[in-house]
């Protein structure tokens, strides 16, 4: 399967069965045990990122690009904290849901802005570019291109999460219990941390903070990398 096929499949998935599944996981209604585990794991990843940004005490001064924003799980709290957030996602359905959640949380605010756009076609410049739990849908070669493009949009900082290619997860993936839902409809790709770090470094970034979220069914390695701001 080539990368273009991966992208088409991912877009269609998140506009159909994937939308229904992930909207529920990223919500607060009743879900099954596996989905609840993934919901809690994902929330930990979101909370870690928010914690990092809040600790710097300058959120209200930041412009943030949330690439592959889903239903706004990160964008909405960041906007609530005062950051200027430009959120986008390849799936129209996810973006429509994100907009509704944004209105519920913040009223008819212009912040965050939500757009239907694949991250490869994003342009502009943001203090911080964030891309959570998106790379899992793409093979390493494509992920490298995506990361390089995201780096080109980031003035100072990039924050990425991915499912790390460890012996344990490779085994789980083989026996089919890793990300059990989506892996049936879309492929789940694991990435070697060394490869992700190498592409960030090649783009002039230096790793700063790292974290790992690990629950029964959710595994996400989080990296923050910065470069000397051009400002």
Is residue 159 involved in binding ligand SAM (CB under 6 A)? Answer: no
**Residue from 38, 49, 78, 132 binding ligand SAM (CB under 6 A):** 132
Is residue 7 involved in binding ligand SAM (CB under 6 A)? Answer: yes
Is residue 64 involved in binding ligand SAM (CB under 6 A)? Answer: no
Is residue 73 involved in binding ligand SAM (CB under 6 A)? Answer: yes
Supply the minimum distance, in Å, between the C-beta of residue 90 and ligand SAM.
4
User: DSSP code of 180?
Assistant: T
**x-marked contacts with ligand SAM along 15-44 as a string, rule CB under 6 A:** -------x---x------------------
CA distance 37 to 103: 27
Is residue 48 involved in binding ligand SAM (CB under 6 A)? Answer: no
Supply the minimum distance, in Å, between the C-beta of residue 57 and ligand SAM.
24
Is residue 69 involved in binding ligand SAM (CB under 6 A)? Answer: yes
What's the angle, vertex CA 149, arms to CA 58 and CA 79, rounded to 5? 30
**Residue from 134, 143, 153, 190 binding ligand SAM (CB under 6 A):** 134
Crossing angle of the two packed helices 17-25 and 33-55, in degrees rounded to 10: 60
Q: Is the dihedral of CA 86, 208, 140, 135 positive or negative?
A: negative
Contact 217, 34 (CB under 8 A): yes
CA distances to 22, 47, 162, 165, 215 from 169, in Å:
21, 23, 12, 6, 12
Q: How many residues are there in the chain?
A: 231
Q: Which residues bind ligand SAM (CB under 6 A)?
A: 7, 10, 14, 22, 26, 67-70, 73-74, 89-91, 94, 118-120, 132-134, 137
């Amino acid at each position: 399967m080539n990368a273009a096929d991966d992208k088409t499949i991912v877009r269609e998935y998140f506009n159909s069965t994937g939308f229904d599944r992930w909207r529920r996981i990223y919500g607060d209604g009743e879900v099954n045990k596996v989905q609840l585990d993934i919901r809690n794991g994902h929330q930990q990843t979101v909370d870690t990122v928010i914690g990092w940004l809040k600790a710097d005490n300058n959120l209200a001064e930041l412009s943030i690009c949330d690439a592959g924003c889903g239903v706004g799980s990160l964008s909405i709290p960041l906007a609530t904290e005062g950051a200027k957030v430009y959120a986008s996602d390849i799936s129209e359905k996810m973006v429509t849901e994100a907009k509704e959640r944004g209105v519920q949380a913040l009223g008819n605010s212009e912040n965050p802005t939500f757009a239907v756009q694949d991250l490869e076609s994003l342009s502009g410049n943001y203090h911080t570019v964030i891309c959570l739990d998106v790379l899992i849908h793409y093979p390493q070669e494509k992920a490298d291109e995506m990361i390089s493009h995201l780096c080109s949009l980031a003035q100072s900082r990039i924050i990425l999460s991915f499912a790390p290619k460890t012996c344990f997860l490779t085994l789980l993936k083989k026996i089919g219990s890793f990300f059990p839902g989506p892996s049936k409809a879309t492929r789940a790709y694991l990435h070697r941390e060394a490869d992700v770090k190498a592409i960030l470094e090649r783009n002039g970034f230096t790793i700063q903070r790292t974290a790992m979220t690990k629950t029964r069914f959710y595994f996400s390695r989080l990296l923050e990398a910065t470069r000397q701001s051009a400002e």
